[in-house]
Amino acid sequence: MNFGRIFSYALLAVALTACASTAPRYYTLLPASTPESVGANTQQAAGTKFAISVQPVVLPEQVDRLQIVLSDPQSTQVSLLNSSLWASPLSDEIRNALSDELSRKLGVLDIATGSVPESLAMWKVALHVQRFESVYNERVLVDATWRLTPVNQPAKKATICRAETQVLVGEGVSAMVAGHQEALRRIAQVIAAQLSGSPGKAAVDGVLNKGCTF
């Protein structure tokens, strides 16, 4: 009888049991809200001249899953954190975070396109993420293209832009998620400046603007 092999199998079984019993942790890209910010947004939205409609976000398939996906900068390999999960599908997390940031910055409502009265000007915001990278204990990167389409605004034209941002992060998954929150906040700041007609404010620290087409 090979006691060494039996002992190795026993250790493996214990390890697998421990992994299986680890309760998953859930993370969201939505920032914490405060009563003050909610009240301010309500007052601003009451007098706004346009609304927004943030469309479903398009993501690379390799990261659009419940598990947080880590990138290896030294290779093409990725790793799935089975015990660290997004609270909802990542595409929904990004859409909700972008909607929240734009609503905060502009004081506008995010509404469904099917319920827009003809008298209300609106911008459809469609985000397509090319790269959503998470390098553990190091950095995160978001490279995205977005299309702004005017609705009930005959004098306005659609715009397509692209930008990239990297955020250095500390140790742990929570720090990495906070880094992605900051990256999306920066992208939202650029989009908000475009929607508000303030292109001079579209130059955001840490954001590499790759250009726009009209």
Element (H, E) at 193: helix 173-195
pLDDT in tens, the chain (214 residues): 555 545 544 544 444 454 455 799 999 999 987 655 554 454 444 456 899 999 999 999 999 999 999 999 888 899 999 999 999 999 999 999 999 999 999 999 999 877 677 888 999 999 999 999 999 999 999 999 999 999 999 999 999 999 999 999 999 999 999 999 999 999 999 999 999 987 666 789 999 999 999 8
Helix-helix angle 90-106:35-46, to 10 degrees: 70
Contact 142, 159 (CB under 8 A): no
> Rounded CA gap, 8 and 40, in Å?
61
Q: What is the pLDDT of residue 14?
A: 47
CA angle 210/58/129 to nearest 5° reads 30
Q: What is the pLDDT of residue 11?
A: 46
> Rounded CA gap, 1 and 101, in Å?
64
Q: What is the pLDDT of residue 126?
A: 98
Contact 91, 57 (CB under 8 A): yes
> Rounded CA gap, 164 and 143, in Å?
4
